[in-house]
Structure 1
Amino acid sequence: MRAVIVLAALALFSCDKSPKPEDAVFVDAKDGVRAALKDPGSAEFSELYRCGDSRVVTGEVNAKNSFGGYNGNTHFIYADGQVYMEGESDTQGYVRANARCSEEIRKTPARIPQADK
């Protein structure tokens, strides 16, 4: 029983979805997403995750459009200095980046939170 508790605690602590301010990959991802937006200053980020131990970041951004209204959350993937936004013109790039994120997560299974059954 003690081993189960220790393993559960290790899994919980190894899955830190909240980015640390000094973590450069999150700063780079946010900067890249902001550069792709109509109103970079309006960007509101949520659900930021690092895909395994890689420099691939996935998350959501809500920002103002050309009319000054917020679009609602849009999923993005930041990989290799490129930003791929869900629903944008580079659909194949988004799919490839999403597959890469999944592959990076598979390489580090201890960081994947397990859903309750």
Structure 2
Amino acid sequence: MKVSTVFAFAALFSIGVCSFAQTEAPKLRKALVKRGQEAVLEQLKDPDSAKFRNLFSGKYDSFLCGEVNAKNSMGGYIGFKRFFAAESAGNYVRFEGDSSFDDGWSNNCRLFDPKNQFK
């Protein structure tokens, strides 16, 4: 009797956790994308021209990785460049070509997990 009660409680608890995870995950993803994109836009010369693609969460839930294309000061698009934005470090943003980009990308973004990709 006790075993079946414990099993039933465990089953209900796991259903509740799964349900919470399924409803909360999209909100967290949207918030991460919004904050990450805002941090990137602050660094661009023409933020209104920015186009993002291939966005995914990095090693940590506060890491947004992806590619951005935007216009430079001459008005031309520079081509898509990889970036990462780390919210936990005070909106720390690095772009492909920056001195510390390669290490940050390797440590936090390289392991691409398709289930974390934002579409």
5+ residue gaps, structure 1: 1-18, 113-117
- Aligned pair count reads 89
The correspondence of residues 56-71 of structure 1 with structure 2, limited to 5 A, is: 56-71=63-78
Residue 25 of structure 1: how far off its partner (Å): 1.1
Equivalent position to 2:34, from 27, 32, 38:
27
Residue 73 of structure 1: how far off its partner (Å): 0.3
Q: What is residue 86 of structure 1 aligned with on the other side?
A: 96
| TM-score, normalising length: structure 2 | 0.62
* Aligned AA (2:64): V
Q: What is residue 41 of structure 1 aligned with on the other side?
A: 48
What's the RMSD between the two structures over aligned residues?
Answer: 3.1
Structure of greater Rg = 2
Q: Do structure 1's residue 75 and structure 2's residue 82 form an aligned pair? A: yes
Distance 1:110 1:73, change over 3 A: closer
In terms of fraction of residues, the more helix-rich structure is 2
Residue 100 of structure 1: how far off its partner (Å): 3.1
* Aligned AA (1:99): S
CA contact under 8 A between 1:62 and 1:70: conserved in structure 2? yes
| TM-score, normalising length: structure 1 | 0.63
Structure 1 residues 63-97: Cα deviation after superposition (integer angstroms, max 9, x where no partner): 00011011110110111311100013xx12x2332
Q: Segments of 4+ in structure 1 off by > 3 A?
A: 19-22, 109-112
* Aligned AA (1:38): K
Residue 101 of structure 1: how far off its partner (Å): 1.1
